[in-house]
């Protein structure tokens, strides 16, 4: 299972929000590259980089951070937040991301997203499914749709998407444990999917449980920054 640490960026700094609330912001490090290098030194191979300024503005903002980390580490980076038009996709790939992460846009403008899948190849995108009660949530989680997560994933699996991460927004940033039942159901429905769990991881037991139920990856953010999961713990997993 891939251990994928998360770095969320506001004003070029490494932060975490609780349940997507910009008012509940905590700065962990002024220099995201330092954090990324610590992950790389621990033997981790991937990085989930989120441009929170971009997500709010609806256009990629912190691409310089991406460029710096991609240039100075060998981490495989997926980058999301504010990817709303083709120019944003180009900036993200030109700045060194291996994958562009797309969530809300795939819900709100499927035609545009499908055109990108056709232009760049579906293997270049990581689809984000934010979920509340098995329904898709968008717009920084402020808005729940009536779209079942299973239908949403099916639509894009049919279009060639191979990697999906799913965040239960009722769990994110609360360190209360991941949504095992939801993830089990998704993986039963899509056994060939490279499925990545996200949100709620509070300790190593959660990580082991996600591995046990068959997740191909897990995105971990707050649990690392708050010391509930240490880089030493994760180093043992990567060996």
Read off the pLDDT of residues 195-225 as tens digits, 9 standing for 90 and up.
999 988 999 999 999 999 999 999 999 999 9
Q: Which one, of 217, 172, 171, lies nearest residue 195 by Cα?
A: 217
Whether residue 161 has pLDDT greater than 90 = yes
Q: Judge whether 82 and 60 are in contact, CB under 8 Å.
A: yes
Domain range enclosing 34: 2-238
At 198, which CATH number? Answer: 3.20.20.70
Strand partners, 29: 14
Residue-wise pLDDT tens digits, 96-112: 999 999 999 999 999 99
**Composition of the chain by helix, strand, coil, percent to 5:** 40, 30, 30
**172 in catalytic set:** no
Candidates 130, 168, 172, 206; catalytic one = 130
**8 in catalytic set:** yes
pLDDT (average), residues 47-58: 95
Strands (E), the chain: 2-10, 13-18, 21-29, 46-51, 76-80, 99-102, 125-132, 135-138, 143-148, 163-168, 194-198, 217-220
User: How confident is residue 24, by pLDDT bands cut at 50, 70 and 90?
Assistant: confident
Domain count for the chain:
1
């Amino acid at each position: 299972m891939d251990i994928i640490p998360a770095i969320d960026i506001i004003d070029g700094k490494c932060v975490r929000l609780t349940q997507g609330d910009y008012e509940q912001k905590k700065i962990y490090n002024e220099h995201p590259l330092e954090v990324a290098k610590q992950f790389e030194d621990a033997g981790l191979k991937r990085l989930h980089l989120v441009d929170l300024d971009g997500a709010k503005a609806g256009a990629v903002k912190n691409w310089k951070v991406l460029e710096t980390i991609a240039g100075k580490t060998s981490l495989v980076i997926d980058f999301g937040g504010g990817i709303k038009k083709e120019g944003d996709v180009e900036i993200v790939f030109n700045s060194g991301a291996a994958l562009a992460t797309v969530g809300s846009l795939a819900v709100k403008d499927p035609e545009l997203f499908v055109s990108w899948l056709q232009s760049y190849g579906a293997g270049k995108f990581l689809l984000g499914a934010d979920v509340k009660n098995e329904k898709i949530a968008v717009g920084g989680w402020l808005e729940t749709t009536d779209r079942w997560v299973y239908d949403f994933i099916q639509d894009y699996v049919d279009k060639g998407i191979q990697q999906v991460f799913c965040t239960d927004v009722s769990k994110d940033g609360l360190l209360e444990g991941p949504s095992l039942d939801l993830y089990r159901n998704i993986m039963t429905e899509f056994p060939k999917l490279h499925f990545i769990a996200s949100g709620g991881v509070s300790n190593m037991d959660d990580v082991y449980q996600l591995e046990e139920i068959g997740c191909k990856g897990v995105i971990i953010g707050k649990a690392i920054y708050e010391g509930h999961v240490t880089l030493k713990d994760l180093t043992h997993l990567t060996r």
